[in-house]
Structure 1
Amino acid sequence: MSTTYTSFAVFGGGRVGLPIVEEFARRQVSVVLFSRPGSATKKTVPAGVEIVELDFSDVNKISAALQQRGVQVVLSTIGVAAAVSQNKAIVDAAKLAGVKLFVPAEYGLTTEGQTEGPLGDKREVAGKCSIDYLKATGIPAVQFYNGLFIEFIPWLTGFPEDPKMRVIGKGETPISFTAIIDVAGFVAHVLTTLPSAELGNRIFRIEGERASLKELAKRFNATVEYVDRVQGEMGEVKTVIGVALDSGSGSTGWDVVNKREGTGVDAAGSANLLWPGHQWKTIKEVLNL
């Protein structure tokens, strides 16, 4: 008999992890936040949420902590490429602890089927410690694709701090934009309401709003500045993301292999139906435009 999950552990309490913890707590289910030593003092969590400080590379200690708390579902929100060994250790610990479901830290752009280009490199690096590695260990996994976080638009394009919107390519490719709070809410919603049998090895494609960067510039009266690459701090990372968005991978329904939009459950925003009645936040709301 399939039941719903009731016990969760979130690794990493950053910009994505902490909102997810808060959403679990709001739904009054058991959730524990695993944090690196020394970083927990900077976090404020809802009453009743336990914070456990652990070395994310210590498989045995992580496993023991998960078993002690009866954790059924582990969610990693620590950066994959920046912490490959730590994500791998968390997977190993989850396996030892008998965890039933694992959510890897691959929120954002679609990497399914990517073998070339910047996202192919990300998949190659991240996959060894997340999806592909999870498949090898036998732990069922669930992925969430949300496109570009709305909150990252200023960081990537410079707008609205700068009246010009920096765009790589033609800026005409449709992109899925989703607010972090909506991603966190959706994750907590489906993991606590869908039967466990419907969650294993599944991809959820959500979308708060859909538009191209050129459309956004027109909508908000911004001037478009077309560039080949982004200069300055983290310019290389921003360039990689900009190229990926221009290629189509910014859409949560993008089919990399066939280079077209997916249909049915593979369509952008198809999973939105699983959260009936929810009002998804718009770019205008989130950025106060």
Structure 2
Amino acid sequence: MSKFTRFVVAGAGNLGVFIIQELVKLKKQGKIDSVVVLTRSKDATENETALRLGGKPTNINYSRPDQLAHALKDVHCVISTLSAYDAEFEKDITHACKAMEVNLFVPSEFGLPKISQLRSRKDGVKRYFEEIKQPYAVFYTGMFPDLIFTPYAGFNWDDGKVRIGGSGDQPASFTSRSDIARYVVHVLTELSADELENKTFLIEGERISFNAIFSGWEARTGRTLEITRMPRSELERASPINLGAHLFLEIDNGNGTVGPPEETNLYYPEWKPKKVLQVLLG
């Protein structure tokens, strides 16, 4: 085991809440000692969420090194779930981790290794923690099916209408947030420090194309979807300014998976993640 028992989670948002829940479960079982959640002082919702989940909220100004240092004192592992738009703060967190001798830093890389709307910022953070030799573990998880398949993103299942870009034939990696949290927390608490440090973990609940998802949905529901497709030419014109177009174009280019199948879902044989249709239809 890693013997990491004191955890800090930066952010209590879309993914953070699930990771906090899993850590709190282990704390209640006596397997870890503490779950501290870094929240921004002006965000009362984050504080309330952390308390409701059973974590200990600590108000932080990420630009204040003294506050970060105090929050990370005697911490074993820091997990960042900050959004891509907050990636700039991860350098501050990384610097504090190094200064306070935190054993392991998990950056908010969750997603796809070759696709990001803010890839340059993420790459900058990764270069920084490699440069200062802060031990890290990166998790690539694919897209979140419990988050992206919404009417806002073009998937109106109730009305039977969906909209995608490209052919829809290329496979992509999908993992639900609850499954991501279970895997991440298991690995961080069960693997040795040597197995974790400076390693990249690839996971996916399912590798499947959009067209296969649509066909499966129709077979399960007995309904026919009205599918609108944006051609590649339009995606190319809109990318990278339009983030949705950029994502579909990269998937159409074959960059929608986390990596080779034989390198995914290692180290946790009991992990049984949900398939996409299980997430969508139960």
Indicate whether the TM-score tops 0.5. yes
Structure 2 vs 1, CA of residues 3 and 84 (structure 1 numbering), >3 Å: closer, same or farther? closer
Q: 1:95 aligned to 90, 95, 98, which one?
A: 98
Does the residue aligned with 1:15 lie in a helix, a strand or coil? coil
Q: 1:277 aligned to 240, 247, 270, which one?
A: 270
CA deviations 1:160-212 (Å, max 9, x no partner) are 24422211111100011110000011110100000011001111111111210
- Supply the distance in 2 between the matched residues of 1:199 and 1:127 (Cα, whole angstroms): 20
Cα drift, residue 49 of structure 1: 2.2
For 1:40-119, what aligned pairs fall within 5 Å after superposition? 40-45=46-51, 49-67=55-73, 70-80=74-84, 82-111=85-114, 119=116
Please tell me whether the aligned partners of residues 5 and 73 of structure 1 are also in contact (alpha carbons under 8 angstroms): yes
Give 5+ residue unaligned stretches, structure 1. 112-117, 254-261
Cα drift, residue 95 of structure 1: 1.2
Cα drift, residue 263 of structure 1: 5.9
Alignment root-mean-square deviation, CA: 2.2
Q: Which residue of 2 aligns with 1:288?
A: 281
Cα drift, residue 91 of structure 1: 1.1
Give 5+ residue unaligned stretches, structure 2. 219-224
CA deviations 1:15-65 (Å, max 9, x no partner) are 101110110111122211001113234415467521101112212210122
- Supply the distance in 2 between the matched residues of 1:150 and 1:83 (Cα, whole angstroms): 22
- Supply the distance in 2 between the matched residues of 1:47 and 1:247 (Cα, whole angstroms): 40
Given the alignment of the two structures, is residue 32 of structure 1 paired with residue 36 of structure 2, yes or no? yes
Moved more, 221-230 or 142-151: 221-230
Q: 1:172 aligned to 164, 169, 174, which one?
A: 169
The amino acid across from 1:241 in the alignment is L
The amino acid across from 1:125 in the alignment is R
TM-score (norm 2): 0.85
Given the alignment of the two structures, is residue 137 of structure 1 paired with residue 137 of structure 2, yes or no? no
The amino acid across from 1:174 in the alignment is P
Please tell me whether the aligned partners of residues 22 and 45 of structure 1 are also in contact (alpha carbons under 8 angstroms): no
Structure 2 vs 1, CA of residues 144 and 162 (structure 1 numbering), >3 Å: closer, same or farther? farther
Q: Which residue of 1 aligns with 2:222?
A: none
Structure 2 vs 1, CA of residues 194 and 85 (structure 1 numbering), >3 Å: closer, same or farther? same
TM-score (norm 1): 0.83
Moved more, 82-91 or 71-80: 82-91
- Supply the distance in 2 between the matched residues of 1:49 and 1:195 (Cα, whole angstroms): 24
Please tell me whether the aligned partners of residues 9 and 73 of structure 1 are also in contact (alpha carbons under 8 angstroms): yes
The amino acid across from 1:9 in the alignment is V
Cα drift, residue 137 of structure 1: 1.2
The amino acid across from 2:8 in the alignment is A
Please tell me whether the aligned partners of residues 69 and 96 of structure 2 are also in contact (alpha carbons under 8 angstroms): yes
Q: 1:212 aligned to 198, 209, 213, which one?
A: 209
Cα drift, residue 3 of structure 1: 4.1
Please tell me whether the aligned partners of residues 25 and 31 of structure 1 are also in contact (alpha carbons under 8 angstroms): yes
Please tell me whether the aligned partners of residues 113 and 140 of structure 2 are also in contact (alpha carbons under 8 angstroms): yes
Please tell me whether the aligned partners of residues 47 and 57 of structure 2 are also in contact (alpha carbons under 8 angstroms): no
Given the alignment of the two structures, is residue 191 of structure 1 paired with residue 195 of structure 2, yes or no? no
Please tell me whether the aligned partners of residues 31 and 50 of structure 1 are also in contact (alpha carbons under 8 angstroms): yes
Q: Which residue of 1 aligns with 2:119?
A: 123
- Supply the distance in 1 between the matched residues of 2:38 and 2:12 (Cα, whole angstroms): 8
Does the residue aligned with 1:19 lie in a helix, a strand or coil? helix
Structure 2 vs 1, CA of residues 279 and 263 (structure 1 numbering), >3 Å: closer, same or farther? closer
- Supply the distance in 2 between the matched residues of 1:50 and 1:211 (Cα, whole angstroms): 38
Please tell me whether the aligned partners of residues 213 and 277 of structure 2 are also in contact (alpha carbons under 8 angstroms): no
- Supply the distance in 2 between the matched residues of 1:229 and 1:94 (Cα, whole angstroms): 40
Please tell me whether the aligned partners of residues 7 and 71 of structure 1 are also in contact (alpha carbons under 8 angstroms): yes
Runs of 4+ with >6 A deviation? none
Moved more, 6-15 or 146-155: 146-155
